[in-house]
Amino acid sequence: MTTIGLIGAGHIGSQLARLAVAHGYDVVISNSRGPETLSALVTELGSTARAASALDAARAGDIVVVSIPLRNYRTVPVEPLIGKVVIDTNNYYPQRDGHIQELDDESTTTSELLQAHLPNSKVVKAFNHIYASELTTHCLPAGGQHRRALAIAGDDPDAKATVANLIDQFGFDTVDAGPLAEGWRIQRDTPGYGPRRTIDELRRDLAVAKRYRDL
């Protein structure tokens, strides 16, 4: 049985936990305030889910989702995530996260920051450009013509394949945006960030995306 660990249990974390439980995964979910604050969510999720500390969620997960305000990324436990696929849903909002110099000057990208914090994990950027509520309303079985597509980016091909498989199970097609350094193509204010897109539409959006300095 594969366990999905979640660091962050807010809009996105709770929705991904719902999808994971619905597709037969064990779930260990965490937030910053402690497992006792997640009892209502865990009751809703049922017997295959439990709440834990972020450290325990990182230890328990075969695949671990990081879905927290970006400003807190340095608190993500490093050692228990060594060798694991880590899904990064995070976006940069300076008004929420404070200014981060290397994102403001575009010398790196959000998921590269997390990858640098977790040098021996396999970070895959995913689920960052869909509104949380749509994760459970826009999902469709594979094969339909108008299935929504979600972008991924990552430096490890096997990790990307694992995440693409998970996204397919959850009800979405996948478009590979390339390595983590290309993740800016689906950051805030790019064409693909937010709207419902099929594979072809999302590919087009990624191709025409501009960096902030070129807007």
Q: Which residues bind ligand NAP (CB under 6 A)?
A: 7-13, 30-33, 54, 67-70, 72, 75, 89-91, 128, 131-132
Q: Which of 82, 132, 158 is nearest to 150 (CA)?
A: 132
Please identify, using beta-carbon distances, which residue of 37 and 165 lies nearer to ligand NAP: 37
Min CB(9)–ligand NAP separation in Å: 4
Q: Please state, as a whole number, how many other Cβ atoms lie within 10 Å of the Cβ of residue 140.
A: 12
Q: Closer CB to ligand NAP, residue 8 or residue 80?
A: 8
Strands 85-88 and 26-30, by their bridges, are unpaired
Q: From residue 156, how far is each of 40, 42, 67, 121 by CA, in Å?
A: 36, 32, 20, 10
Nearer to ligand NAP, 6 or 164 (CB): 6
Question: Which is nearer to ligand NAP, 145 or 191 (by Cβ)?
Answer: 191
| Contact of 117 with 141, CB cutoff 8 Å | no
Which residue of this chain has its Cβ atom nearest to ligand NAP in the complex? 10
First to last CA, the chain: 46
Q: In angstroms, what is the minimal distance from the CB of 174 to ligand NAP? A: 16
> CB of residue 40 vs ligand NAP: minimum separation in angstroms?
13
Neighbours of 55 (CB within 10 A): 14
Closest distance to ligand NAP from the beta carbon of 156 (Å): 21
